[in-house]
Amino acid sequence: MRFTKMHGLGNDYIFLNCMETIPDDLHGLARRLSDRHFGVGGDGIICICPSKQADFRMRIFNSDGSEGAMCGNGIRCFGKYVYERGLTDSAHLMIETQAGNRELELTVKGKNITKVTVDMGEPVISEPVDLLMMGERRTVIPVSMGNPHAVVEVENPQVLDLRTVGPAVECHSEFPNRVNAEFIRVIGPAALELRVWERGSGETLACGTGACAAVAAMASQGKLDREAVVHLTGGELRVRWEEKSGHVFMTGPAVAVFDGELAD
């Protein structure tokens, strides 16, 4: 079984070409391959599959083996993979995900993809809630980007012990199916800083859907413009919440790291 290691701003995944054959037990395979000591290492695996309703289908499995609905960084890498590996010659793609179909616009330079813009769809923003976590009350804005997010505004995300506060949000009783947690600080009318704790993976260097959720949440509160740069641990994403359509558009890089072959 051959694989390709890719990342979007350090949010890294192991890509498998499943256009002809889908491996058995993808849940167990994700746990084994994602292990950074005994496997390839990554935040999960992403399978490139055929689709009856779009150009391709993307399936995501987190490092704990759970299946995810959508991944902004992963889908940018997905677009780069299928174009540069000759699975398509189109720079405009429709990708089927568990969160619905997503449109991609690929920026092509020569034969390479330099960046990808994703139509992430419309955010669903719920009323803020005050939650008791670790003996402290915090205001949380729930946002769905096809997958669930909890946006928490803090004074300084960098000083947080995410290994403690992250699971406290992810597994809070308010979110029975668990949730991705974004800890953010608005640093200007068109910029915010973000650290993320992803359900099923723990802290990651970036989260595309989380960046979109954070911009939508803060813009809905009048604390941020509808177009902003999101500064994540792994780099920057540009997010635009279009007023006319209500859709959120995310633009960022995608990087192929190496190809490999599993021994067994």
3-state secondary structure of 252: strand
Which of 165, 164, 169, 160 lies closest to 131, judged by CA? Answer: 169
> Do residues 45 and 61 lie in contact, with contact meaning Cβ atoms separated by under 8 Å?
yes
| Residues labelled catalytic | 71, 207
**In angstroms, rounded to a whole number, what is the distance separating the alpha carbons of residues 144 and 122?**
9
**In angstroms, rounded to a whole number, what is the distance separating the alpha carbons of residues 133 and 173?**
10
Pairing of strands 248-252, 235-241: antiparallel
Tell me, rounded to whole angstroms, the distance of Cα 91 from its chain centroid. 21
Helical packing angle, 208-220 and 72-84, nearest 10°:
130
Tokens of 151: 């946006």
Q: What is the DSSP letter of 157?
A: G
**In angstroms, rounded to a whole number, what is the distance separating the alpha carbons of residues 186 and 35?**
34
